[in-house]
Structure 1
Amino acid sequence: MTTTDHDADLRLTVLGCRAGMPEPGWPSSGYLVHAPDGAILLDCGPGVAAKAAARAAELSAVFISHMHTDHCLDLLILGKALALRGLDADDTTAPETRIPLYVPPGAATTLRRFNELFPLGTDGPGAHPTDHVFRDVFDVVEYEPLRPIRAAGATVLPVPMAHRQPCCGFRVTTPHGTLAYTGDTGPGSAFEPLVAGVDLLVAEATLDQPDRTRHGHLCAAEAGQLAARFGARALLLTHWAYTDRAWIDAQVERAREHYRGRIDVAVPDHTFHVDTDTQEH
């Protein structure tokens, strides 16, 4: 499921950016990276599946930062939607090409068990592809932190982050630009391999103030400090705890106190060009 008719630049489309559970018009985490040879989906939280399935023809790989529900719950829905594409009601043929799905260590078993909880029939999983999406639709691979992965003409580097669940951010490098996505993280992460010199830093700005717990989240001021410290060319703030525009604007101002580069705000269905100042609506 790969297409090569992509623009020369590196782009990122926000499918969802809400921290925790979604609200109307604001799905949870999901970001589509338009790479040279296809699209890479970073995370697949609630509300993201329908948007990602609509782009099935270009979807080349999926990467999951961690196994909190706001980052992975729609994987099963996406898999079932892809399994049903082009099938007749009585057709039980699995898709010819599986989509690589890169997940944290230990997640493959969790996902298979999740699928088994929702079989098509009453007597448990059968032969239909929707009963085995993590076998027949996705090629599930547990990634190794700091080991690069090639996907869609890009190199994706999983970098460990400090979070309550094991979590990796992703650095995506193409011939046309580099972006970093933090996933969920506290300020104690070793950020240099992820962020240093990137063209676009997609950083969570979940909190009003720094996290004093061990949960592992950033506030907007820390996102700005991170972009400044490691020389990111532009900053995209995301993972909103609230979607009120005044609250979001206040977070942008907090980040701007520390970072003088371009700052954008993640909004569902907006596309950001990594190496230009152009934004599509």
Structure 2
Amino acid sequence: MTIASHVPRLTVYGCRAGMPEPGWPSSGYLVHLRGGAVLLDCGPGVAAKAATAAELSAVFVSHMHVDHCLDLLTLGKALAYQARDRRRVTAYVPPGAAATLRQLNELFPLSPHGPGPHRTDRVFSDVFDTVEYAPGEPIEVAGATVQPVLMRHRLPCCGFRVSSNGQTLAYSADTAMTPSFEHLAGDADLLLAEATLTEPDSTEHGHLSASEAGQIAARYGVRGLVLTHWAHTDHAWLAAQGERAAQGERAAQHFSGRIDLAVPDHTFHL
């Protein structure tokens, strides 16, 4: 393995806020590490791509809104049909989520008589090693340290700080402005931040605008910023000089470092 292959990098599988659209899966991001790879969130449309990631070591779910977690069951069923000697993938999920996911699995049994012994009926025990993480407690996986950081959203939600080989990726998940960014994003090489809104959130839902993402990147010494979690993906909105480009310009009013815009299947180096 070359030194370059040790450098963490990020591949966007999906970056759509809410439900997917053609070519635009919901949230899902693969972080390539020296000891494997971890998937951050697994929203609708992500499973088909994640199931082909041979180096997949773990999945981290930020919160239990369906656009961030629903394809976890589909991914597990896809993995169940791969080589039976494949080791289990660890699924790190929010507190209380394990029981919800098991109930979801039981709603779709292979047999009309209910769940049986087949692995597709036991995704969250036989395919995934399902572990509920605790906010603030670091996890060692795939040669990296992943720290869940509690953010500010309508449901309990954690962002993830992934550190490996002397470099750090911070993923905001869904959140409003919060002091937690000091712990999540401080001196990160790359901040993957939602830019769902064009104006600051005036509700209690908990989302960022692109301007706020730029402010966060500047305030906490981030070296690079990737904006994601697009609220719209229609052709007009995605035009070269359209709203998605304008979101980058809004962030650039506050942050002078590198700014990229998330697009499915694009890879970013830290």
TM-score (normalised: structure 1): 0.91
CA drift of 1:188 comes to: 2.9
User: How many angstroms does 1:95 deviate by?
Assistant: 4.8
Establish whether residue 207 from structure 1 lines up as the match of residue 197 from structure 2. yes
Please name the residue that 1:266 is paired with. Answer: 262
Aligned partner of 1:277 in structure 2 is none
Which residue among 33, 36, 46 is the counterpart of 2:44? 46
| 2:252 aligned to which of 249, 253, 256 | 256
Q: How many residues align?
A: 264
Task: String of CA shifts for 1:250-279, please: whole Å, max 9, x gaps.
Answer: 1111101000000000000000000xxxxx
C-alpha change, 1:4 and 1:159, in structure 2 (3 Å) is farther
TM-superposed deviation, 1:5: 10
Contact 1:205 1:223 in 2 (8 A): yes
Q: CA RMSD in A?
A: 1.5
Could you tell me how far apart the structure 2 residues matched to 1:201 and 1:164 are? 22
CA deviation profile, 1:179-212 (whole Å, cap 9, x unmatched)? 1000000113421110000000000000010000
Partner of residue 235 from structure 1, selected from 225, 243, 254: 225
AA partner of residue 79 (structure 1): G
Sort the Cα spacing of 1:83 and 1:5 in 2 relative to 1 into closer, same or farther, 3 A.
farther
Cα distance between partner residues in 2 of 1:15 and 1:6: 22
1:142–1:223 CA distance, 2 compared to 1 (3 A): same
* Conserved? CA contact 1:6–1:34, under 8 Å: no
Unaligned runs of 5+ in 2: none
Structure 2: distance between partners of 1:128 and 1:5: 41
CA distance in 2, matches of 1:30, 1:200: 16
Listed as ranges, the gaps of 5+ residues in structure 1 are: 87-93, 275-281
SS at match of 1:7: helix
**Deviation at 1:4?**
10
Q: 2:31 corresponds to which letter in structure 1?
A: V
Q: Is the 8 A contact 1:10 1:176 kept in 2?
A: no
Distance in 2 (alpha carbons) for counterparts of 1:142 and 1:85: 25
Which of the residues 180, 189, 195 maps onto 2:185? 195
Further displaced range: 96-105 or 116-125: 96-105
CA contact (8 A) 1:5 1:37 kept: no
Q: How many Å separate the matches in 2 of 1:210 and 1:77? A: 34
Aligned to 2:157: 167
Of all paired residues, the percent bearing the same amino acid is 66
Question: Structure 2 length as normaliser, TM-score?
Answer: 0.95
Which consecutive aligned stretches of 4+ in structure 1 deviate over 6 angstroms post-superposition? Answer: 3-6
Provide closer, same or farther for how the CA distance between residues 140 and 5 of structure 1 changes in structure 2, counting only shifts above 3 A: farther
Q: Distance in 2 between matches of 1:4 and 1:123?
A: 51
Do structure 1's residue 81 and structure 2's residue 81 form an aligned pair? no
Q: 1:104 to 1:115 in 2, by over 3 A?
A: same
